[in-house]
Amino acid sequence: MQYTNEELKQKIDELKSKLDVTVVAHFYQRDEVFDIGDITGDSLELAIRTRDDDSKFVLFCGVAFMGQSVKVLSPHKRVVMPKLACCAMAKMIDGIYFDESIAFMEKHGISKENILPITYINSNADVKAKVGELGGLVCTSSNAKHIIADALKVGKKILFVPDRCLGQNIANQMGLKSMVIGEEGNPNDVDIICYDGFCSVHQLFTLDDIAFYRKKFPGILIAVHPECDPSICDASDFVGSTSQLIQYIQALPAEQKVAVGTEFNMVNRLRPTNTYVLSSTKPECPTMNETTLEDVYVTLKAIDDGAPINEIFVDEKTQKWAKIALERMLAL
Ligand code: 13P
Ligand code: SF4
């Protein structure tokens, strides 16, 4: 039987009040899914607030690495996801590619002891575990600059995975030298060696889009996420994580126009007027958009029926080292 969104919302509310469950939703979720979240936010906020929540079940509306991070930080919790959607960037690296990146640095005479790996939270638990085992840690787009600044104090070469853009953008902001594996350069001559992963959604924004808006609305501000290409970040007025973008845009005077370079769902609900999507192609994250209200209902119903579906499990060794990598970040 097909339910309307209103009917689904009502059924979801009934189940939520009956079950020991917290519904978590990332800012990029569809509006109707975002609206039923008990905890909403960017990936850093979700990691912290969900860890501190004491419900038995966490129903996570986002992409797989996010639900996995909750399970890694709180193995006693039962984490279910309405859709096991995998972030395209997180898929670009696994344990084998990580090992190959370390081998690339070793080939240039940099020993494992002299490498400090940092993984963006947009990576699967096996990569986080490899990073943890090598003494490294996790970062998110909100705290990457802080984490890298702290890591530099140790005097090691930083291997940053998987997002080349975030690594390069932070290096540029801090006046550091960076290179991307597979592109020209010697890792000995730079501070940060970036893996060559990227987010296809954030690659949609172009310099032509920025030129178009600056010409159409003189005085407009351009605000983008650091997963955008460095050329886009350099040409923008503000670069920040999803929460930082929200804070920046909501503090603008109502008449100030702004074009925003990040996922469509979030930009669309940011501000009633004078806010534009910085792309002629709708920048929707396909995997974030997979989760529907019906999926949430079906997943809650399965908990109620005593047969949870799409539950996240992480093996013990991966859990141990991935937790260490995540906790090193949270400790900072
Ligand atoms: P935030 O860390 O800003 O939530 O970003 C997560 C993400 O997937 C952006 O594409
Ligand atoms: Fe992954 Fe990009 Fe989607 Fe974020 S927007 S979840 S980085 S694919």
Q: Is the dihedral of CA 105, 108, 111, 114 positive or negative?
A: negative
- Cα separation of 101 and 161, whole Å? 9
- Is a pLDDT exceeding 70 seen at residue 279? yes
Tell me the CA–centroid distance for residue 90 and ligand 2, in Å: 8
Alpha carbon of 97 to those of 11, 61, 135, 166: distances in Å?
44, 28, 18, 18
Pocket of ligand 2 (CB under 6 A): 63, 87-89, 122, 199, 201, 227, 263, 285, 287-288
Pocket of ligand 1 (CB under 6 A): 42-43, 122, 140-141, 199, 227, 241-242
Alpha carbon of 311 to those of 32, 40, 68, 78: distances in Å?
22, 20, 10, 7
Ligand in nearest proximity to the CA of 163: 2
What whole-number percentage of the chain has pLDDT above 90? 94
Q: For residue range 231-275, list pLDDT tens digits in order.
A: 999 999 999 999 999 999 999 999 999 999 999 999 999 998 999
pLDDT band, very low/low/confident/very high, at 123 (cuts 50, 70, 90) = very high
Q: For residue range 143-174, list pLDDT tens digits in order.
A: 999 999 999 999 999 999 999 999 999 999 99
- Is a pLDDT exceeding 90 seen at residue 103? yes
pLDDT at position 332 is 86
What whole-number percentage of the chain has pLDDT above 70? 100
pLDDT band, very low/low/confident/very high, at 198 (cuts 50, 70, 90) = very high
Q: For residue range 46-90, list pLDDT tens digits in order.
A: 988 998 899 999 999 999 999 999 999 999 999 999 999 999 999
* Closest-CA residue to 120 (of 26, 224, 194, 24): 194
pLDDT at position 1 is 67
Tell me the CA–centroid distance for residue 17 and ligand 1, in Å: 29
Q: Is the dihedral of CA 206, 212, 214, 217 positive or negative?
A: negative
